Structure 1
Amino acid sequence: MTNSLHPNGPRRTPLPPAERSTEGVPTPRSAPSRPSDRTSKPAGATPATAPTAATATRPGKPRDAFFDNAKYLAIVLVAMGHAWEPLKGQSRVLEAAYMVVYAFHMPAFIIISGYFSRSFDMRADRLKRLVTGVAVPYVVFEVAYVLFKRWADDDPSLPISLLDPWFLTWFLCALFIWRLTTPLWKLVRWPLPLALLVAMLATTSPSIGDDLDLQRTLQFLPFFVLGLCMKPEHFQLVRRREVRILSVPVFAAALVVSWWAVPRMNPGWFYHRDSAQELGVPWWVGPVMVLALLGCSLVLTACFFAWVPRRRMWFTALGAGTLYGYLLHGFLVKGGDYWGWFDHEWLHRPLGEIFVTLVAGVAVTLLCTAPVRRIFRFAMEPSMEWAFKRDATELARERAKTPA
Structure 2
Amino acid sequence: MNRISYFDNARAILIYLVIVGHILSKFIDDNHLMGSIYMFIYTFHMPAFTLISGFFAKKIYESGYLLKVVKKLLLPYILLQIFYSFYYYYIFHDSIEFSLFIPRWALWFLLSLILWNILLFFFGKMKFGLPIALIISILIGYDESVSEILSLSRTFFFFPFFLVGYYLKTEQLLKLKTRTHVIVGTLLAMFGFIIIYYFIPIEQHVWLLGKRPYAEMTTVPLEWAWLGRFIAYIAMAITTYMFLTLVPNKRRFYTSIGAVTISIYLLHMVVVRIFYDSPIKVYIDETKQYWIIFILAACILFVLSRKPIVTLVDRICTMPSKKKASQID
TM-score by length of 2: 0.91
In structure 2, how many angstroms separate the alpha carbons of the residues matched to 1:264 and 1:81? 14
Query: Which residue matches 1:43?
Result: none
User: Shift in Å at residue 265 of structure 1?
Assistant: 4.2
User: Shift in Å at residue 248 of structure 1?
Assistant: 2.1
- 1:130 maps to a residue whose letter is V
Query: Which residue matches 1:112?
Result: 52
User: Shift in Å at residue 197 of structure 1?
Assistant: 0.8
Query: Which residue matches 1:363?
Result: 300
- 1:320 maps to a residue whose letter is A
In structure 1, how many angstroms separate the alpha carbons of the residues matched to 2:52 and 2:273? 27
1:182 aligns with one of 78, 97, 120: 120
1:88 aligns with one of 25, 28, 36: 28
2:161 aligns with one of 223, 234, 243: 223
Relative distance call for 1:72 and 1:204 in structure 2 (3 A) is same
User: Shift in Å at residue 262 of structure 1?
Assistant: 4.4
Q: In the alignment, is residue 98 of structure 1 matched against residue 38 of structure 2?
A: yes
1:255 aligns with one of 186, 190, 193: 193
Query: Which residue matches 2:261?
Result: 322
User: Shift in Å at residue 384 of structure 1?
Assistant: 6.8
Q: In the alignment, is residue 311 of structure 1 matched against residue 311 of structure 2?
A: no
- 2:147 maps to a residue whose letter is G
Contact 1:152 1:339 in 2 (8 A): no
- 1:328 maps to a residue whose letter is L
In structure 2, how many angstroms separate the alpha carbons of the residues matched to 1:223 and 1:215? 14
Query: Which residue matches 1:37?
Result: none
- 2:176 maps to a residue whose letter is V
- 1:229 maps to a residue whose letter is Y
In structure 2, how many angstroms separate the alpha carbons of the residues matched to 1:348 and 1:324? 33
- 2:35 maps to a residue whose letter is E
User: Shift in Å at residue 353 of structure 1?
Assistant: 1.0
In structure 1, how many angstroms separate the alpha carbons of the residues matched to 2:71 and 2:100? 16
Long gaps (5+) in structure 2: 323-329
Long gaps (5+) in structure 1: 1-6, 8-46, 48-62, 386-404
2:61 aligns with one of 121, 124, 131: 121
User: Shift in Å at residue 195 of structure 1?
Assistant: 0.8
Query: Which residue matches 1:383?
Result: 320
User: Shift in Å at residue 346 of structure 1?
Assistant: 5.5
Equivalence map 1:160-179=2 (5 Å): 160-179=98-117
| Other structure's SS at 2:7 match | helix
- 2:172 maps to a residue whose letter is H
| Other structure's SS at 1:181 match | helix
1:137 aligns with one of 53, 60, 76: 76
Choose 170-179 or 263-272, whichever is displaced more.
263-272
Contact 1:220 1:272 in 2 (8 A): yes
In structure 2, how many angstroms separate the alpha carbons of the residues matched to 1:348 and 1:196? 44
In structure 1, how many angstroms separate the alpha carbons of the residues matched to 2:20 and 2:141? 27
Relative distance call for 1:153 and 1:85 in structure 2 (3 A) is same
Relative distance call for 1:275 and 1:282 in structure 2 (3 A) is farther
In structure 2, how many angstroms separate the alpha carbons of the residues matched to 1:206 and 1:246? 39
Relative distance call for 1:123 and 1:164 in structure 2 (3 A) is same
In structure 2, how many angstroms separate the alpha carbons of the residues matched to 1:324 and 1:145? 15
Q: Which has the higher helix share?
A: 2
| Other structure's SS at 1:296 match | helix
Contact 1:99 1:267 in 2 (8 A): yes
Query: Which residue matches 1:159?
Result: 97
User: Shift in Å at residue 255 of structure 1?
Assistant: 1.3
Tell which structure's C-alpha radius of gyration is larger: 1
User: Shift in Å at residue 368 of structure 1?
Assistant: 2.2
User: Shift in Å at residue 327 of structure 1?
Assistant: 1.3
Query: Which residue matches 1:279?
Result: 217
Relative distance call for 1:196 and 1:313 in structure 2 (3 A) is same
In structure 2, how many angstroms separate the alpha carbons of the residues matched to 1:343 and 1:171? 29
| Other structure's SS at 2:230 match | helix
What CA deviation, in whole Å up to 9, does each residue of 1:127-165 have, x standing for no partner? 45313321111111111111111022213x322100001
User: Shift in Å at residue 229 of structure 1?
Assistant: 1.2
User: Shift in Å at residue 295 of structure 1?
Assistant: 1.4
| Other structure's SS at 1:302 match | helix
1:267 aligns with one of 205, 211, 216: 205
Contact 1:83 1:333 in 2 (8 A): yes
Number of aligned pairs? 321
User: Shift in Å at residue 207 of structure 1?
Assistant: 2.3
In structure 1, how many angstroms separate the alpha carbons of the residues matched to 2:75 and 2:238? 34
Relative distance call for 1:143 and 1:309 in structure 2 (3 A) is same
User: Shift in Å at residue 268 of structure 1?
Assistant: 1.2
User: Shift in Å at residue 70 of structure 1?
Assistant: 0.5
